[in-house]
Structure 1
Amino acid sequence: MTHVDVTVPDSLLSALKKAPHEVAAELRLAAAIHWYQQGVLSMERAAETADMSRAEFLGELARRRVDVFSVDDPDLARELGEVRT
């Protein structure tokens, strides 16, 4: 596993009232959710990035009210057998 150092201001730790390891976990989770929503990471890779199981990651998505499945209008129409012009 690769290790990446991220510098954050001390004021962030104070504002969040969290220890550095807690902020690191939050940053990993936030990045995983962002990349999952963008379609850059699969759910499996996003969960791995957040250091969670898929079930834990799904639970976190639900807790944060993040859509698990994203379907756009053309995909939905195709699935329903509709033809759009």
Structure 2
Amino acid sequence: MKTLTVNIPDSLDMDNKEVLLLVASKLYEQGKLSLGQAADVAGLTKRTFAELLNRYNVSIFNFPATDLSRDVANA
């Protein structure tokens, strides 16, 4: 895993954990990380990470609607 150092202005009222959660949730939303990978980045369990996704308006169901239509048609 890569290590990244980020300088955040003091005026931004976020602690390190919150920044990690924000980054992990965005990468999960974009499909760049799985739920487990994103949870690892955030330093959380999968369950806890999944429960916190709502804070950032990210759905736990991370796939396009077209996939759902195709899955229904194949069922």
TM bucket normalised to smaller = 0.7 to 0.9
For residues 5-49 of structure 1, what are the alpha-carbon distances to aligned partners after superposition, in whole Å with 9 as ceiling and x for unaligned? 21122222xxx2x5xxxx111111000000000000000000000
Q: 1:33 aligns with which of 25, 33, 36?
A: 25
Q: Which runs of 5+ in 2 are unaligned?
A: none
**What value does the CA root-mean-square deviation take over the aligned residues?**
2.1
- Identity in percent: 34
Post-superposition offset of 1:59 = 1.2
Q: Which has the higher contact order (CA 8 A, sep 6+)?
A: 2
User: 1:40, 1:74 → 2: CA distance?
Assistant: 18
User: 2:66, 2:5 → 1: CA distance?
Assistant: 41
> TM-score, normalising length from structure 1?
0.71
Question: Considering only CA atoms, is the larger Rg found in Structure 1 or Structure 2?
Answer: 1
Checking the alignment, whether the CA contact within 8 Å between 2:31 and 2:62 is kept in structure 1 is: no
The aligned residue for residue 52 of structure 1 is: 44
Q: Which runs of 5+ in 1 are unaligned?
A: none
- Runs of 4+ residues deviating >4 angstroms: none
- Total equivalences in the alignment: 73
